[in-house]
Chains A and B, each alone.
Chain A
Amino acid sequence: MSRFGTLPRRLIHLVIILFGITLVTFFLLRLIPGDPALAILGSSYTHQRATAIDASLGLNKPIWTQYGLFMGHLFHGNLGYSYFYSESATTVISQHLAPTVFLVIYSAVLAAVISLPLGFISGVRRGGIVDQSTRVFFTISFAMPAFWLGIILLLVFSVHLNVFPLSGFGAGIAGHLYYLFLPALTIALGFSTVLIRSLRAATISTLQAEFVDTARMKGIAYSKVLRRHVFRVAVLAVVAVYGVNLAYLISGTVLVENVFSLPGLGQLLVNSVSNRDYPVVQAVALLFAVMIVLINLLTDITQASLDPRVGQEIGE
């Protein structure tokens, strides 16, 4: 159990982080000029009409009372009621959750599929043709902003070659895999660069380790040494990078969802901020925080289970 000794402490962190997030999002949101009434009324805004809306939304109460109410509801699992969707924030989020979660997992898998072989080969055959071409290709794709890369992929694959749909989420697992391929690829291409570079570096340094020489001297086949000894050690270094970037990836879906017209959490968040839909913004921010903390936790657990050294100094 000692390898997972940090787990209880991390769970306590989770609670503290979530409390902090409620404070920050609640008060920051209300510091931004403009309010829901303005969003609803637009150019036909008058003070009188705004007051009526504020009263109906409970925004005329003192801010601390509002925060108290929000926290009170939160402890009962109630995230509030969206001003714009006329539904509870939980319902609104559950309607937008699937595309984003699917997209994040899909692009994470795609990124792994792309980068593990390429990164490893680049490290083993340093300076070879795979190494050189991978470096050039992924440096360029990394430098392209997601909205740009997305449009280019759409232009090539959806408009000219007409093999992928232009927008939407599709139906059923197969439909999602088909519809989300281009958006997932857009994210995965950017994500892969980091993974390839770190796997390549880890492979190179592992190749120079003494245990590799030992293994080879014992007469084990080179391919087996690479597989059993080098790859397994090198990939450990990538797990941490993978976890950290996966957390970033969640926030990166916003732009991609926009380009590919995916009704996901990213779009929901942007629209809700623009509309000052406070309950939804708070709920999405909380959800993102939970997801990021959980991913970090999973990364640590994965590392601990792959590497007996992780966590021992704290656990014992």
Chain B
Amino acid sequence: MLRAHGLRTLSLGLIAITLSAVGCSSSSSGPSSGSGPAAGSSTLVIANAVRVDTLDPEANSVNESIWMDQNLYSRLLQPNATGTALVPDLATSWNVAPDGLTYTFHLRDAKFSNGSPLTASDVVFSIDRSRKYSGGWGFLLTAVKSITAPNAHTVVFTLSEKHAPLLADLAMYAYSIVPQKLVTAQGKAFFQHPVGSGPFSVTSYKPDSEIDLARNPNFYGTKPKIAKVKYMIVPDDNTRVLMLESKKADIIENPPGNLTSQIDKTPGLHVNLFPSTRVDFIQMDEHFAPFKKQLVREAVNYAINRQAIVKLAYQGDAVPGASFMPYHMEFYDNSISPYPYDPAKAKKLLAQAGYPHGFKAFMITVSGDVAGQAEAVVVKSELAQVGINLSIQSYELLTAYSKEDGGHSEFGERYWTNDIIDPDEVATFGADCKGGANAFNSYWCSTQATKLVGEARSELNNSARQNLYNQIQQIIYSQSPFIVTDYSPYRYGVGSWVKGFHVTPLGNYDLSLENLTVAQH
């Protein structure tokens, strides 16, 4: 999933000073009397930073759009609140044949928001449509040979090889269910006013400024307590904070790190942190000679003070990084602990590797990424202590990515987020030489790790899978092809009048909107 950074973080430093100055003076003169949503209203206002790219699940690439979409559409299954297991959505039950090659899903009686019934052929149509979309997520389902609907309530998947992540894949946003008839008839135009079977439906769609949702009367589950959800697109970080402070928004996404303490000090407002699947790491491109040596890569791991990064870049709100897999997700290896901060050992390892006086290198960062810039400064000063002279190169987001992906990088700040709860995706991108991403573009390659990733993908027994993923995590940890710095959470500014807002590690909050309440404020 892509998260866009942009101009919006440009002015943060300057503004923070004024905001806190003016903010202080105002809090003594009484609470701000916003003319926000009327008293007792059951509308939830969410201010997002990024415009909605599309409401078409097969083509979504922006996180905020994906999270919003999941309120509109149902899938066969969905991740639970902690992102550690799958729970039913449209499928009430499913059986896996003993050979692991046939999956049968039994659907509940469900309707689309326009009242028409949702049938197995809609499911077959939607999943086939998404997996055939070029550049889409079909690569997750290459093991699927065919999808059929023997009757209106049954869907059967036939596989060409065993594929353990199948259920997790089907819980992904791209495999949301859309009505076959309408999509076939209207094509792309359907997604300007889509019809789904989720808890909410779209009543007004202006992707650059405001999207309004209303409770779907035909939703199969418990009807949401709130009647409406209003999404405002507010790209400027400071303006979003002002919206929360003046109670014109109930929830704002991603308040800037330097304003979180100010928000927390404001009566009635909180910054809530939710564990995410985000893994922040530093790339070490093996095209750069020193990084071909494992001793050098280990030395860098010892030279980095993760506590300092967590404190200075994330205001203490992140967790120091250990395994390359998302923190406490399925098959995470708890026995791995972060590399200790040990500059003396790092120096010794560098000397052993033939670099007693260190070396010069550059590190690519994304301009406008405030946390990333702070991290770069910490890393630079720490590496200087072991003789590695780091120069920081800041680029606009896609320029940075293209340099880091292309094998022309040295150090590079990167991060990963999961799209499915199963670790197959992260293992394929981070540890599999044939996965297409060259082990997070480190160009490190371990035939052993690659073999294990393949075995884990076709192993249906959970404890055996845990064992395989532990081995993969141990290999990455000991050979350190990249530096796992920290696991950073999602940040939302939330008014105390909102009860029950919860974000899963995958970032979606559709389950919480079904029970959430907005009190008078």
| Contact of A159 with B209 in the complex, beta carbons under 8 Å | no
Residues of A within 8 A of B395 (CB): 33
| Contact of A259 with B239 in the complex, beta carbons under 8 Å | yes
A42→B1 CA distance, assembly (Å): 6
Knowing A48-B436, A162-B246 touch, does A95 contact B8 (C-beta < 8 A)? no
Closest to A43 in B: B416
- Stretch in contact with the other chain, from A125-133, A268-276, A296-304, A306-314: A268-276
Residues of A within 8 A of B184 (CB): none
Distance in Å: Cβ of B271 to nearest Cβ of chain A: 18
Distance in Å: Cβ of B440 to nearest Cβ of chain A: 9
Knowing A33-B399, A56-B134, A258-B8 touch, does A271 contact B419 (C-beta < 8 A)? no
As a 0/1 sequence over residues 253 to 280 of chain A, the CB contacts with chain B under 8 angstroms (1 = contact) are 0110011111100011011001110000
Distance in Å: Cβ of B11 to nearest Cβ of chain A: 5
Knowing A43-B415, A45-B401, A46-B435 touch, does A166 contact B2 (C-beta < 8 A)? no
Residue B245 CB within 8 A of the other chain: yes
| Contact of A159 with B32 in the complex, beta carbons under 8 Å | yes
Residue A211 CB within 8 A of the other chain: no
Closest to A268 in B: B208
Residue A169 CB within 8 A of the other chain: yes
| Contact of A86 with B3 in the complex, beta carbons under 8 Å | no
A255→B14 CA distance, assembly (Å): 15
Closest to A155 in B: B22
| Contact of A53 with B2 in the complex, beta carbons under 8 Å | no
Closest to A271 in B: B51
Residues of A within 8 A of B234 (CB): 167, 261
A262→B22 CA distance, assembly (Å): 24
| Contact of B208 with A55 in the complex, beta carbons under 8 Å | no
Closest to B6 in A: A274
Residue A5 CB within 8 A of the other chain: no
| Contact of B6 with A167 in the complex, beta carbons under 8 Å | no
A168→B264 CA distance, assembly (Å): 26
A232→B436 CA distance, assembly (Å): 70
A49→B238 CA distance, assembly (Å): 36
Knowing A34-B402, A261-B232, A263-B206 touch, does A274 contact B415 (C-beta < 8 A)? no
Knowing A95-B208, A151-B15, A258-B236 touch, does A42 contact B436 (C-beta < 8 A)? no
| Contact of B11 with A35 in the complex, beta carbons under 8 Å | no
Residue A248 CB within 8 A of the other chain: no
Residues of B within 8 A of A207 (CB): none
Knowing A86-B56, A271-B51 touch, does A159 contact B7 (C-beta < 8 A)? no
A315→B263 CA distance, assembly (Å): 65
- Among A33, A152, A166, which residue has its beta carbon within 8 angstroms of that of B243? A166
| Contact of B248 with A267 in the complex, beta carbons under 8 Å | no
- Among A34, A44, A52, A268, which residue has its beta carbon within 8 angstroms of that of B399? A34
Residue B188 CB within 8 A of the other chain: yes
Residue B317 CB within 8 A of the other chain: no
Distance in Å: Cβ of B264 to nearest Cβ of chain A: 18
Residues of B within 8 A of A95 (CB): 208
| Contact of A154 with B239 in the complex, beta carbons under 8 Å | yes
- Among B135, B210, B236, B396, which residue has its beta carbon within 8 angstroms of that of A41? B135
Distance in Å: Cβ of B165 to nearest Cβ of chain A: 14
Knowing A49-B139, A260-B239 touch, does A40 contact B61 (C-beta < 8 A)? yes
Residue B53 CB within 8 A of the other chain: yes
| Contact of B209 with A160 in the complex, beta carbons under 8 Å | no
Residues of B within 8 A of A270 (CB): 6-7
- Among A42, A166, A274, which residue has its beta carbon within 8 angstroms of that of B246? A166
Residue A25 CB within 8 A of the other chain: no
Knowing A148-B11, A148-B15, A258-B235 touch, does A155 contact B242 (C-beta < 8 A)? yes
| Contact of B134 with A53 in the complex, beta carbons under 8 Å | yes
Residue B403 CB within 8 A of the other chain: yes
Residue B131 CB within 8 A of the other chain: no
Residues of B within 8 A of A254 (CB): 7
Distance in Å: Cβ of B219 to nearest Cβ of chain A: 27
Residues of B within 8 A of A147 (CB): 10-11, 15, 236
Residue B398 CB within 8 A of the other chain: yes
Residue A158 CB within 8 A of the other chain: yes
Q: How many of A's residues come within 8 Å of B, CB to CB?
A: 57
Q: Which of B431-450 contact A (CB under 8 A)?
A: 435-437
Distance in Å: Cβ of A41 to nearest Cβ of chain B: 7
- Among A44, A96, A169, which residue has its beta carbon within 8 angstroms of that of B429? A44
Residue B361 CB within 8 A of the other chain: no
Distance in Å: Cβ of A177 to nearest Cβ of chain B: 17
As a 0/1 sequence over residues 1 to 21 of chain B, the CB contacts with chain A under 8 angstroms (1 = contact) are 111101110110011001100
| Contact of B235 with A261 in the complex, beta carbons under 8 Å | yes
Q: Which of A80-123 contact B (CB under 8 A)?
A: 84-86, 95-96
As a 0/1 sequence over residues 141 to 172 of chain A, the CB contacts with chain B under 8 angstroms (1 = contact) are 00001011001101100111010001111000
Distance in Å: Cβ of B150 to nearest Cβ of chain A: 32
A56→B414 CA distance, assembly (Å): 28
Residue B405 CB within 8 A of the other chain: yes
| Contact of B10 with A38 in the complex, beta carbons under 8 Å | no
Residue B386 CB within 8 A of the other chain: no
Residue B216 CB within 8 A of the other chain: no
Q: Which of A33, A41, A43, A258 has the most CB of B within 10 A?
A: A43
Closest to B238 in A: A151
| Contact of B1 with A86 in the complex, beta carbons under 8 Å | no
A47→B429 CA distance, assembly (Å): 12
- Among A46, A84, A158, A261, which residue has its beta carbon within 8 angstroms of that of B233? A261
Distance in Å: Cβ of B217 to nearest Cβ of chain A: 27
Distance in Å: Cβ of B251 to nearest Cβ of chain A: 15
A120→B363 CA distance, assembly (Å): 55
| Contact of A42 with B236 in the complex, beta carbons under 8 Å | no
A166→B47 CA distance, assembly (Å): 12
A49→B428 CA distance, assembly (Å): 14
A56→B248 CA distance, assembly (Å): 42
Distance in Å: Cβ of A266 to nearest Cβ of chain B: 10
Residue B485 CB within 8 A of the other chain: no
- Among A42, A169, A271, which residue has its beta carbon within 8 angstroms of that of B209? A169
| Contact of B243 with A167 in the complex, beta carbons under 8 Å | yes
Residue B70 CB within 8 A of the other chain: no
Residue B397 CB within 8 A of the other chain: yes
A169→B206 CA distance, assembly (Å): 12
| Contact of B135 with A53 in the complex, beta carbons under 8 Å | yes
Distance in Å: Cβ of A165 to nearest Cβ of chain B: 8
Residue A217 CB within 8 A of the other chain: no
Knowing A96-B208, A162-B246, A261-B233 touch, does A42 contact B2 (C-beta < 8 A)? yes
Distance in Å: Cβ of B473 to nearest Cβ of chain A: 19
Distance in Å: Cβ of B509 to nearest Cβ of chain A: 20
Identify 5 new A-B residue pairs, CB closer than 8 A, beyond the known A43-B2, A274-B396: A32-B398, A33-B398, A34-B396, A167-B243, A267-B208
15 CB contacts below 8 A, A to B, read A33-B399, A33-B403, A34-B397, A34-B402, A41-B135, A43-B414, A49-B436, A55-B134, A85-B207, A148-B15, A155-B19, A167-B232, A259-B238, A262-B209, A268-B208
Binding site for B on A (CB under 8 A): 32-35, 37-50, 52-53, 55-56, 84-86, 95-96, 145, 147-148, 151-152, 154-155, 158-160, 162, 166-169, 254-255, 258-263, 267-268, 270-271, 274-276
